[in-house]
Amino acid sequence: MSALLELRGITASYGVSQALFGVDLSIGEGELVALMGRNGMGKSTTIKVICRLLKNQAGTVAFAGQDLTRLPAHRAARLGLGLVPEGRRCFSNLTVWENLYASARPGPWTRARIHDLFPRLEERSDQLAGSLSGGEQQMLAIGRALMTNPKLLILDEATEGLAPVVRREIWAAIGALKQQSGLSILVVDKTLSELRQIADHATVLERGKSVWHGRLDDLTPELKDTYLGI
Amino acid sequence: MLRETHVNALILLALLAVPLGALVLDQPFIITLATKVTILALAGVGLNLALGQGGLVSFGHAIFFGLGGYSMGILASHAQSFTPLMEVPFVIPGTNLMPVIWIVAIAVSCLAALVVGALSLRTSGVYFIMVTLAFGQMFYYFAISWPAYGGEDGLSIYVRNQFPGLNTLVPIQFFGLCFAVLCAVLFLVSRLNKSAFGLALTGAHYSPVRAMSVGIEVTRLRLVAFVISGGITGLAGALFADLNRFVSPTMFSWHTSGEIIIFIILGGVARLCGPIAGAAAYIILEQYLGGFSEYWQIYLGLILLFVVLFAQGGLIGSLSKREIVRG
C-alpha cells in the first residue's frame, strides 16, 4: 500500500523548548491510523507539523507525493488535509450552515452527506456554532473538515471531554467513515478499546519521539503501562 | 426582537422619507443633510467590510475617501479650465461626467488600497492600526504640500458634475442619485457577506488559524476585502466632494478615518445598515447638540462609551438579531 502521508525524523520546537525529537509516521491510502501517547508527549505538536501550523526543524513531511515542508498551512490544507482540531474549534460566530459553506471545496462530500452522517447538524442548521453542545460542536468540526473534501482526515482528541453517549456517536461516525468512504484517517486519542476495533495500526509517541509502531492487538500490557499509562 | 432585514428596510425607508418630506415642506437644507448622511454611510459601508467582517481596524480609510475626493476635484478642475490632465505621451482631458469620475475614483482607491493593504496586512492588531494611520498621515501631508491642486487651501469646483438624465444641482435629484448608489453598494456587500468569501472573512476574523487549517488563505482574503472596502470608500469620497463642490486635505486626515469608525460603532459593527444608522445619528447629534454647545463631541463621547460598554451591536444590534445566511 502506498503511503499517503509520510513523516521521517521530525523535530520541532516552540521557541527554545524542543517538543519533537524524531517522529516517524506513515499512513497508507484508506488506512485508519492511531497516534497515541500520554499527555504532553507531542501528539498535537505532530498534528501541527503535518498541517503546517508549526514548522519542523529537521525531517520531512510528504503528503500525496508532495513535500509539505515549505508550504504554508492553507496550501497544505488544499492538498487534502482535513483537520478536526483539539477543542472542537469551529467558527463560533457563524451558524452551522455557514461553517460548512465557508469551508466547502468541490468533491464528493456535500452538506447532504454531512447531514446523513450527523443528522443533528441539519436540525441545528441556523444555530450559531458557539451555542451548540460540545458533542454537536465536535460533529460540526468533523463536518467542516469533510466539507473541504480531504484525502486525509485528522482528528485531534475528537472525543475528549464528551459525554459517553456522544463519544459512542462520534466513534460510530468515524467507523462509518472508514467503512463507507475509504478515506484515510489519522486519529489522536487515548481510548484504546475503541481504537482497537477500527485502527489498522498505531504509532506511539514518548517524549516527542515515535517509539512503537504496529497493530494495537500486538501492544503488550507492559508496553501499555510504559507508554500509555493504562 | 425584529429581524435585521426588517430593521434595514425601515432604516432605508426613513432615509428616503426624510428628504421627500423636506421636499414637500420646502426644506432643501434637510435634503442636503440626508445626502450627507447617505454619502458618509456609503463610506462606512466600505470600511465595515474590512472592519466589521474582516476585523481590520483601519485608521487609514481616509486615504481612500480623500483619493476619491481628489479624483473628482482634479478631473473636474481640468474640465472647468479646459486644460488637459496630461499631454505627454498622450492627452488625458478632465471630465465633469460623474460615471467617469466614479470609475477613476474607484480605480485609484482600489490601487492605493492594494498597496497600503499589501504592506499593512503583514502586521496585525495595534501595529495594523498604526501602519494604516501612518499611511493616512503621509497622504494628508502630501495633499497639504501639493500646490498644483490647492495645497492646504483645497480645491473648489464651481459647478457640480453631471450625471446623464439628471440635474444634479437640484438637491433632491442629487440625493436620489446618492441613494441609488448606496442601495446598489448595499446589495453588492450583502451578496458578498453571504458568499463563501464573506463567511470565510468573518470566520478568519475570529480565528485565522482555524481558517488556515481549512485551506483559507487569510492574508489574501483580507487584502481582497481591504481593496473592495477602499474602492467603496473612494466612491463615497468622490460623491462627498461633489456634494460640497470642494476638496481639501482634511478628507485625508485621521479625524475622517475616526469619524467613519464612529458611524460603524454607533450603528453596529458588521451590520449591513449599521453605518447608515450611525451616520444618521452622528449628523443629527452634530446638528442638534452643536446648536447647544460647540463642545458637542463631549456628549458624542459619552454616547460612544455607552454603546461600547452596554450595546456592542450598536443601534441595529439593539433592535434586531443577527441575520442568518440560509442554505
The pLDDT score that the predictor gives to residue B53 is 93
Instruction: Answer yes or no: is B327 within a domain.
Output: no
Asked whether the beta carbons of residue B326 and residue A126 sit closer than 8 angstroms, the reply is yes
- Among all residues of chain A, which has the CA nearest to that of B221? A74
Alpha-carbon distances, residue B60 vs A53, A147, B200, B231, B299 (angstroms)? 31, 37, 24, 13, 25
The predicted model gives B249-268 an average pLDDT of: 95
Lowest mean pLDDT: which of A168-172, B70-74, B236-240, B271-275?
A168-172
Question: Is residue A25 a part of any domain in this protein?
Answer: yes
Q: Do A78 and B215 touch (CB under 8 A)?
A: yes
CB contact under 8 A, A74 and B218: yes
Q: For position A39, which CATH number holds?
A: 3.40.50.300
The predicted-structure confidence for B113-141, as pLDDT tens digits, reads as follows 999 999 999 999 999 999 999 999 999 99
**B25 phi/psi in degrees, rounded to 5:** -85, 5
Stretch B255-269: mean pLDDT: 94
Pick A98's closest partner by Cβ from B199, B207, B209: B199
The verdict on residue B277 lying in a domain is yes
Query: pLDDT of B274-313, one tens digit each?
Result: 999 999 999 999 988 888 888 888 888 998 898 888 887 8
Look at residue B52 and tell me if it is in a domain. Answer: yes
A94 touches B: beta carbon within 8 Å: yes
A104 assigned to some structural domain: no
Q: Does B232 or A85 have the greater pLDDT score?
A: B232
Domain membership of residue A142 (yes or no) is: no
The confidence score (pLDDT) of residue B323 equals: 63
Please answer yes or no on whether A103 and B217 come within 8 Å at the CB atom: no
Give B18 to chain A, closest Cα distance, Å. 35
Read off the CATH number of the domain in which B312 is found: 1.10.3470
Residues on chain A touching B216 (C-beta within 8 angstroms): 74, 102-103
| DSSP per position, A149-195 | --SEEEEESTTTT--HHHHHHHHHHHHHHHHHH--EEEEE---HHHH
Position B292 scores a pLDDT of 83
Domain membership of residue B41 (yes or no) is yes
Domain total for chain A? 1
CA A17 to chain centre: 24
Interface residue A92 vs chain B (CB under 8 A): yes
The pLDDT tens digits for B174-206 are 999 999 999 999 999 999 999 999 999 999 998
Cβ contacts of A101 on chain B, cutoff 8 Å: 196, 199, 325, 327
Chain A residues close to B221, C-beta within 8 Å: none
Q: What is the pLDDT of residues B13-59, one digit of tens each?
A: 999 999 999 999 999 999 999 999 999 999 999 999 999 999 999 99
Local confidence band at B322 (pLDDT 50, 70, 90 cut-offs) = low
Tally the domains of chain B: 1
User: B83-102: per-residue pLDDT in tens?
Assistant: 998 888 889 899 999 999 99
Print the domain residue range for B196. 2-321
Amino acid found at B255? H
- pLDDT 10s digits, A132-154: 998 999 999 999 999 999 999 99
Which residues in chain A come in under a pLDDT of 70? 1, 88, 230
Select from A85, A97, A111 the Cβ nearest to the Cβ of B210: A85
**Domain boundaries, position A22:** 1-80+184-230
All 3 cell numbers of residue B217?
488563505
Instruction: List CB contacts (< 8 A) between B211 and chain A.
Output: 74, 91
Q: Do A91 and B325 touch (CB under 8 A)?
A: no
Q: Does A111 touch chain B (CB under 8 A)?
A: yes
A126, B205: Cβ pair inside 8 Å? no
Q: Is residue B326 assigned to a domain?
A: no
**Interchain CB distance below 8 Å, A51 and B202:** no
What is the DSSP track for A48-86? HHHTTSS--SEEEEEETTEE-TT--HHHHHHTTEEEE-T
Residue B327 pLDDT > 70, yes or no?
A: no
